[in-house]
Amino acid sequence: MTEPLLSIRDLRVTFATDGGVARAVDGVSLDLAAGEILGLVGESGCGKSVTAMSVLRLLRPPARIEPGSEIWLDGRDLLALPERAMRSIRGRRIAMVFQEPMTALNPVLTIGHQIAEVVRVHERASRGAARARAVAALEQVGVPDPDLRARQYPHQLSGGTRQRVLLAMALVLHPAVLIADEPTTALDVTVQAELLALLADLQRRLGMAVLLITHDLGVVAELASRVAVMYAGQLVEEAPVQELFARARHPYTQGLLEAAPRLAPRDGPHGSGGRHGGGAGRLRVIPGTVPPATAWPSGCRFHDRCSAAWDRCEREAPPSHAVDASHRARCHLAAEPERRAALPVALTGSVR
């Protein structure tokens, strides 16, 4: 197996809050290979955005990356780099796109200026040359009339266009890694589809690795080659995308997959009783809510919401078991196949 491009090892991030220390990210290890799209999935508050921000060291106090965490790129631990070296990585080797295109651009500077700024900061380019590259980047992300747009201000652009601009800003220096934190969440559905297609296309053309963070399984299904699922600050499952959708092993993942709304009910036009609770397509939800990061539950953090839990789950935190060569799950069930076999069908995760 080739050396991964970006390697996160045992990342722990804490926040000092009024209610205690919040362990937002608690021992996450991830590998991102060159040219692959890794989807990082989870509910709000599971720590995926914090993980992403840690890679570029964009977190500020009271957030703290605990010692013992490592993030490797090009054979260097990013967390040990001096700030100046880190700055040369940001925007050049690793770029990041955020969720809110409406507020992510400086309202008093032109689009062209903001994109050209990336070029001028990292390379010795003249104003004219940098601007030309900015316009070229706009064209590459499919912004019509790029020269005009470069002279405009953010408030003159729509949300979809702004997100394209942010992509252009991220990609103008052809970084090796793109971290996209919920890039389409704030956009209309049609615009979402366009942007995802654009992202897929750019990734193919530029051959960069993408860490795609989202709570939307549909997005993951469309773009990602591998998926990692986070819950309560930890990775609970990791698998190639097809494998995850077909044979999810962690009850949380199964719950997420079940909870995705569908147009047609599962068992015929009127649904059946029993496991669907009657009526056509009542959404299956995961009972309970995400616990606060200051007080993760004991043992397996999902045990109080898991329908397959038993006493071991409350006592003992499960390690990450290898279900397959490329499939891991943090669940005791993975180590106890007999117990798994005894569960009702609904809980074994045979989901279409």
Partner 1 sequence: MRSFVVRRLVQAVTVAAAVTTLTFVLIHLAPGDPLAGTMDDPRVAPSVRAHWRQVYGLDRPLPVQYVRFLTGVARGDLGFSVSYNEPVIAVIRRAVPNTLMLAGTALVLSFAAGILIAVIQVRREGTLTDRALGAISLGLYSLPDFWLAQVALLAFSYWLPIFPAGGTIDPVIHPYLGPAAAALDRVRHLVLPAVTLAALTAAWIARFQRAALLDVAADDYLRTARAKGLSEWTILVRHALRNALLPVITLFGLSLSAFVSGAVFVEKVFGWPGIGSVAVDAVGARDYPVIIACTIIGSILVAAGSLIADLLYMLADPRLRRAEGDADGGATSAVAGA
The three-class DSSP label of residue 15 is: strand
User: Hey, what are 74's tokens?
Assistant: 């090009």
For partner 1, the closer of residues 108 and 325 by Cβ is 108
- Token pair listed for 10: 């045992």
Q: In terms of CB distance, is 122 or 312 closer to partner 1?
A: 122
Give the burial string for 74-104 (b: 16+ CB within 10 Å, else e): eeeebbebeeeebeebbbbbbbbbbbebeeb
Provide the minimum distance between the beta carbon of 269 and partner 1 in the complex, in angstroms, as a whole number. Answer: 42
Near partner 1 by CB under 8 A: residue from 17, 126, 156, 272: 156
Burial of 283 (0-12, 13-18, 19+ CB in 10 A): exposed
Map tokens 């409406």 to a residue.
Answer: 102
Q: Is 214 in the site for partner 1 (CB under 8 A)?
A: no
Write each residue from 1 to 40 as x if it is in contact with partner 1 (CB under 8 A), else as -, in one continuous string: ----------------------------------------
Separation between Cα atoms, residue 58 and residue 69, nearest integer Å: 15
Q: What is the residue whose two structure tokens read 């890794």? A: 38
Helix axes 159-171, 189-206, angle to 10 degrees: 20
Residue 118 or 248: which CB sits closer to partner 1? 118
Beta bridge partners of 8: 30, 71
Q: Does 221 participate in binding partner 1 (rule CB under 8 A)?
A: no
184 is a contact residue toward partner 1 (CB under 8 A):
no
Among 13, 32, 78, 157, binds partner 1 (CB under 8 A): 157
- Minimum CB distance to partner 1 smaller for 117 or for 139: 117
Choosing from 30, 71, 118, 308, the residue that interacts with partner 1 (CB under 8 A) is 118
Is 152 near partner 1 (CB under 8 A)?
Answer: yes
Q: Which residues bind partner 1 (CB under 8 A)?
A: 56, 58, 87-92, 95-96, 98, 100, 102-110, 117-118, 121-122, 145, 148-149, 151-158, 161, 166, 169
